[in-house]
Structure 1
Amino acid sequence: MNVVLVRVDNRLIHGQILEAWVPFLQAEGIVVADDGVASDFFRETVIRMAVPREIEVIVCSVADLSKNFPGAQSEGPRSIVLFGDAGAALRAHQGGFRFERLNLGNIYSEECVVSCTPSVQLDRKELDDVLSLLRAGVAIDLRRVPTDNPPDLQSILRKVGAGEEKRL
């Protein structure tokens, strides 16, 4: 699997993915790494129905992703990997699924402590998970769609006193 995008998106499969990211990246596959979806036949079926037939869909748990796909390779179908939250991305990274860059596309929280963009609002746990990924050397990109101009996460984190020394 040739991973062309690793993304956190609470909504998983939706228009931004199918109409913006897939064509922009010329993706041939989408991997949904979500424990809830992997264990819910109905949710998995709905996701599969939403994706055009020419795009391969893999639904798996976070642990299975780490076990079966140890990292971004340059061979195989161009694929987008989606996580439902930053904690899942962190668990995958810690479990051996290696990636250098993580796109935060849509994260909504009722208990927001950091509003990075209108579509990325982090609660305390999400913030801690993102900071852990930064410390692990993962660059964080804040964009809903590929044409967005990403804000500087470091300056956002400094404003709330959560800044890291690591540059993005």
Structure 2
Amino acid sequence: MPIVLARIDDRLVHGQIVQGWLRILNVDIILIVSDIVILDAMQQMLMTIAVPANIRLDIKNLKDATNAITSGQYDKDKVMILAVSPSDVLYMIENGAGFKSVNVGGMRFINGKRQLLHNLCVNDSDVESLHKIHIKSVEIEGRILPEDEKKDIASIIEKEYKAIHRR
């Protein structure tokens, strides 16, 4: 399956995805990976409306999405994967999804998180997951839009990881 983009973005489908990434990526399917969205019919409807008609939107919980990826369900499609958190991406990788690169596009500030970059706010669990993704030889790159400079954020994550383990 050609995974065109695997992205961590807690907003999932929004303007930067539709007007930025979809404009330049030739995807057949957007796969939303979320145990929460799968239970929210209203959010599903809003995402369906936001996605262009020529692109299929699949919304699956984490386990079903991972199984679909690893079983070859999307082998003939160009897929953009949108996940809410680093732990979800780590789960997919640990269970057979072969990502070479993960784009960190948006992890907003909420209570309990700290800001590392403009679009990257993390808690200790996020750092642990991103570190584990990195040590599996998966590139972790930060970019909000496709025309932005591709930034390798692994060094930022590793610095934060070491700081956590010195406490």
Q: TM-score normalised to the size of structure 1?
A: 0.86
Identity of matched residues, %: 23
Deviations 1:13-36 (A, max 9, x none): 011111111121122221101111
- Aligned residue in 2 for 1:112: 113
Measure how far apart 1:148 and its partner are: 0.9
- Aligned residue in 2 for 1:3: 3
* Residue-pair matches, total: 162
CA contact (8 A) 2:33 2:82 kept: yes
Deviates more, 1:135-144 or 1:91-100: 91-100
SS of match in other structure, 1:69: helix
CA contact (8 A) 2:33 2:81 kept: yes
Measure how far apart 1:83 and its partner are: 0.1
SS of match in other structure, 1:54: coil
Question: Residues 1-168 of structure 1 correspond to what in structure 2 (within 5 A)?
Answer: 1-70=1-70, 75-110=75-110, 111-113=112-114, 115=116, 117-157=117-157, 159-160=159-160, 162=162
Deviates more, 1:89-98 or 1:139-148: 89-98
Measure how far apart 1:161 and its partner are: 5.9
Q: Structure 2: give runs of 5+ residues left out of the alignment.
A: none
Deviates more, 1:121-130 or 1:70-79: 70-79
Q: Structure 1 CA distance, aligned partners of 2:71 and 2:98?
A: 4
Q: Structure 1: give runs of 5+ residues left out of the alignment.
A: 164-168
* RMSD, matched Cα: 2.3
